[in-house]
Amino acid sequence: MKLSCLYSDQPDIFAPIRFRDGLNVVFAHIRHPKDDSKLGHNLGKTLLIEILDFCFLKKVTKDHLFKRHAELFSDFLFFLEIQLHDGGFLTIRRSASEPTKIAFKRHTQAGQNYANLDEKDWDHWRETFDNAAVLLDSILAFTPIKPWPYRKGLGYFLRGQSDYGHVFQLSKFGAGRHKDWKPYVARVLGFNDEILTEKYDADAATAKLQNDASEIQSEVTLKTKDFDKLRASIAVKRNEVETKVRAIDAFDFHGQEADLAREVAESTEIEISEKNNLLYNTRHDLAQVERGLADEVHFDLDDVRRVFEEAQITFPDQLARDYGDLLEFNRRIHSERRAALMERASSLKAKISKLENENASLSKRRMEILQVLGGTDSLQKFKDLQRQIDHERANLTLMETKASKLESLIAIQEQVRHTKARAEELTATIQQMIHQGSERYAEIQLNFSRIIKEVTQRTALLYVDQNGEGNLDFHAEFNDDATDLHTEESRGTSFRQLLCIAFDLAILISYAKEPFFHFVYHDGGLERLQNKLKLALLKIIRETCAEHGIQYMFSAISEDIPYSEDTDKMCPSTDEIILTLDDSGDSGRLFKMATF
């Protein structure tokens, strides 16, 4: 797929732009280089990418140009004519004011103007945004990357200034999930992206399950290893409750009274005694801590100096400084000790409060049991014992709830084992995939390195490896031929830009005969480069376009084109300049209107 023509229904403001095979240049002519009020960087050469992206059905948010300046663009209709891989052309119609209503028309001849075409003559009229995206994807039919949609990789071939920071991770991906772009890049390089996607899914599933397990574990004090013990306790407790219910239904209180008496003697009284001992010790510790908090550091350097003076002994300045340092040291120690004591006091108070609550609960329990044991009224005793059974039933329900949560936790942990095992299998598969490589990957690697070598006379490598999580990482970097180690050159802005350009060209070369993008637009592609690198790059671009039928576009200001050093006629000729902008005023901008 190539670009053929971009136009609007208001040609006096936005003139038609006809694209050509081979080299296409958006040329910003700086006629007033010394006039600071006339800049070459706000003429619209970067804006052109945004308009193309809009016509390729980019979602329009509130931050989009047409939303920010709705009053300027509400009346504009844009038309993008593209050349299809199977021959013929497609025109896409999209309105700035109604970006979710899109029209398409296929035709056999290039250079059509459908600005005034009647509604009935369009193949698809006012399609919804989602339907339009599906339709365009089916028309383009980029089978080598299916099921990925065409828009996933469009940014690599409409590279704006912000997309030279990273060869593989476009600015639109930002700090998003690697799953959103790494599998796509892997597919383009000739790898099995489904394995990578499944690996990311397995990692995500493991992380979610582990989070779920942590939430359940926070609600249950027991561990999964205690599950069988808890289940046995539940069985015993359930049997006890059922036995007591049968007995009380028969007004047989003997067994339950015996159990209650045993509970008071063997459990409740002992627990109350232990709690009282703990309360006594804890209160004693708190009293000690509070006395420590009352202590203060008392040292007055002036008093010491006065003693020396009364004794008619000189008080040395160094000694005064030493005393001062010692006092400051003691103050710091005291401050740290006080903070520790306050923290300890807070902890002890919380412990005392907890013990008192537990003791109150135990005392109430003892009172209830003794009331039952001391009663003589059978009906009242029946009611009291019934309440005791209700209490035990509540405890049984609590135990069963804990068991249910532990059972869920065990099930989740089993799922975690499965997802981890699957992730490990996929990690091994990815490792094997890297080892085996692919023909396309090898071709792209060689073309990438060749382009960089011919432009810079340096070696650059494109390769993949596995990171600590077992997923793919992509690398494009310069390499020292002598040491076989990567250099820091790829960190520089201009050389990193060259790596991006070489990567995009290598991809286009590999897919030159398949239904895929056959164009690339590099905004400011020559900026920041030395003149000899610009000329070398232009030579490679021309050769690549001629040999592989690629359409290459770049924007540049006149100062970027090294005409004076161009002995081999690599610089763009007049017929290769598809759009000329200048700093003379409104008429020189992409949109012939005042700056916005």
**Calpha distance 142→389 (Å, rounded):** 72
DSSP secondary structure string for all residues of 260-301: HHHHIIIIIHHHHHHHHHHHHHHHHHHHHHHHHHH------H
In DSSP terms, 27 is beta-bridged to 556, 580
Confidence grade of residue 427 (pLDDT, cut at 50, 70, 90) = very high
pLDDT tops 80 at residue 79: yes
* Average pLDDT of every residue of the chain: 84
pLDDT > 90: percent of the chain = 51
Question: Residue 344, Cβ neighbours under 10 Å: how many?
Answer: 16
Query: Beta strands of 30-72 (E only): which ranges?
Result: none
pLDDT of residue 377: 41
As a whole number, mean pLDDT of residues 383-400 equals 70
**Distant-in-sequence contacts of 60-64, Cβ < 8 A, 24+ apart:** 60/99, 60/100
**Calpha distance 73→67 (Å, rounded):** 9
Cα first-last separation, the chain = 32
Going by DSSP bridges, is the β-strand pair 519-522/17-18 parallel, antiparallel, or unpaired? unpaired
**Calpha distance 293→337 (Å, rounded):** 9
Question: Residue 429, Cβ neighbours under 10 Å: how many?
Answer: 16
Confidence grade of residue 509 (pLDDT, cut at 50, 70, 90) = very high
Point out the least confidently predicted range of 287-296, 450-459, 567-576. Answer: 287-296
Separation in Å, CA 307 to CA 310, 313, 315, 327, 330: 5, 9, 9, 18, 22
Highest mean pLDDT among 216-225, 378-387, 449-458 belongs to 449-458
As a whole number, mean pLDDT of residues 506-525 equals 96
CA angle 213, 216, 217 (to 5 degrees): 85
pLDDT tops 60 at residue 263: no
Q: Residue 549 in contact with residue 21, Cβ under 8 Å?
A: yes
As a whole number, mean pLDDT of residues 326-354 equals 77
pLDDT of residue 140: 97
pLDDT of residue 83: 97
DSSP secondary structure string for all residues of 155-216: HHHEE-GGGSS-SSS-TTTTT--GGGTHHHHHHHTTS-HHHHHHHHHHHHHHHHHHHHHHHH
pLDDT tops 60 at residue 200: yes
Point out the least confidently predicted range of 17-31, 78-92, 168-182, 234-248. Answer: 234-248
pLDDT of residue 214: 87
As a whole number, mean pLDDT of residues 408-426 equals 92
In DSSP terms, 479 is beta-bridged to 459, 486
Q: Please enumerate in sequence order all residues whose Cβ is within 8 A of that of 429, keeping only pairs 6 or more positions apart, or say none.
A: 195
Per-residue DSSP letter, 426: H
pLDDT greater at residue 257 or residue 471: 471
Confidence grade of residue 376 (pLDDT, cut at 50, 70, 90) = very low
pLDDT tops 60 at residue 261: no
Confidence grade of residue 251 (pLDDT, cut at 50, 70, 90) = very low
Token pair 């310069």 is found at 478
Domain spans of the chain? 224-386
With residue 70 as reference, give the H or E element that holds it. Answer: helix 70-73
As a whole number, mean pLDDT of residues 505-513 equals 97
pLDDT > 70: percent of the chain = 79
**Calpha distance 515→517 (Å, rounded):** 7
pLDDT of residue 136: 97
Summarised one tens digit per residue, pLDDT across range 94-145 is: 999 999 999 999 999 999 999 999 999 999 999 999 999 999 999 999 999 9
pLDDT tops 50 at residue 226: yes
In DSSP terms, 25 is beta-bridged to 554, 577
Summarised one tens digit per residue, pLDDT across range 134-173 is: 999 999 999 999 999 999 999 999 999 889 989 999 888 8
Confidence grade of residue 378 (pLDDT, cut at 50, 70, 90) = very low
